[in-house]
Copies of this chain bind each other. A is one copy, B any other.
Amino acid sequence: MDEFALIRQFFTQGPTRPDVSAGIGDDAALLQVPVGQELVVTTDTLVAGRHFPDDAAAFDIGWKSLAVNLSDLAAMGAEARWVTLALTLPTANESFLREFARGFFALAAQEQVALVGGDTTRGPLSVTVTAMGTVPTGQALRRGGAVAGDDLWISAPPGDAALGLQIALGQWADELPDSLATQALERLHRPTPRLALGLALRPLASACLDVSDGLAQDLGHLLAASGTGAELDLGLLPQSPALRHIDPAFASVFALTGGDDYELLFTAPASSATAVQALGATRIGRITAMPGLRLFRDGTAVDMPLTGYTHF
């Protein structure tokens, strides 16, 4: 089967949108960006054996390759609109393609994102998605907007994906009820991009990013971009049901340094606190003028090594 037949069969599906003048089938897609809005663009690659195990379910690879990109749009407060998909796979395996497409389009349908272009090539399995959205000009959430005195927030408990990775590698499962182990694995394999939250935060947050490499490491990026520091209170950090089941010391490590959560980490002035709380987020600390990240638990300083995911 040639490239064109493959693409046609599995990738001409999913949501259609009135802002797509031309999708798959020409040399390039033609798209309509509304007047008064900026285009928001991000690209992420998932490589077999690096970002997912070689035997990962094709459904999950499809879902996650889209989710991690939509998460970046969410972090900017963007409305997700379009994606392109560059899929490299060893063989034109029909069952892999069917399941991959099922996972990819399950999330695409949920978020009403249209697949508008792509390339299918033969080679070692990897997936690169480019996601595009829009935001009213000047209103994007950036990393650099935090100021001293802002509250620090997270959208949901971090660390489950890191625990899920350990479970996938054969560790920890004995210490957890099956239902909690399953939840952690689902958070690893099928993360939820927080698009609705990102939109709601646009008038509220001062800075935002998504947690992909670990809470501490990504918070470091936000602080560096903002030229500020932060005090993070471990006593305020929300704990998932799964993390509450394991040794608290390990739970803290997963929560602070585990990657792949794709929760939003953001700051907001104290005047926004009530509105932000109503969105379901949890306040975990505050921004300081003094640079650096300082950890506390119930008012007492805590010292622990903080190393997140490195891509190399």
Contacts and interface: CB of A to CB of B under 8 A. Distances in A.
Given A26-B142, A42-B29, A132-B41, A49 B123 contact: yes
B29 A41 contact: yes
A72 B123 contact: no
A117 to B, nearest CB: 6
Q: Is the interface of A mostly helix, strand, loop or mixed?
A: strand
Contacts of A42: 27-29, 84, 117
A194 to B, nearest CB: 12
Contacts of A135: 30
A72 B41 contact: no
A227 to B, nearest CB: 14
> Which range holds the interface residue count of chain A?
35 or more
A108 interface: no
B6 A312 contact: yes
A144 B27 CA distance: 11
Nearest to A69: B28
A312 B85 CA distance: 17
Interface in A216-257: 225
Nearest to A21: B38
Interface string A29-52: 111110100111111110111110
A2 B218 CA distance: 13
Given A25-B225, A76-B30, A128 B39 contact: no
Given A25-B143, A41-B116, A124-B126, 15 more contacts: A1-B312, A27-B42, A27-B72, A27-B209, A28-B42, A28-B75, A30-B140, A31-B41, A33-B39, A35-B35, A43-B118, A47-B123, A47-B124, A86-B130, A119-B128
20 contacts: A3-B312, A22-B142, A25-B143, A26-B209, A28-B41, A28-B73, A28-B133, A29-B40, A29-B41, A31-B39, A33-B39, A35-B35, A42-B84, A42-B117, A43-B117, A47-B122, A119-B311, A120-B311, A121-B126, A124-B124
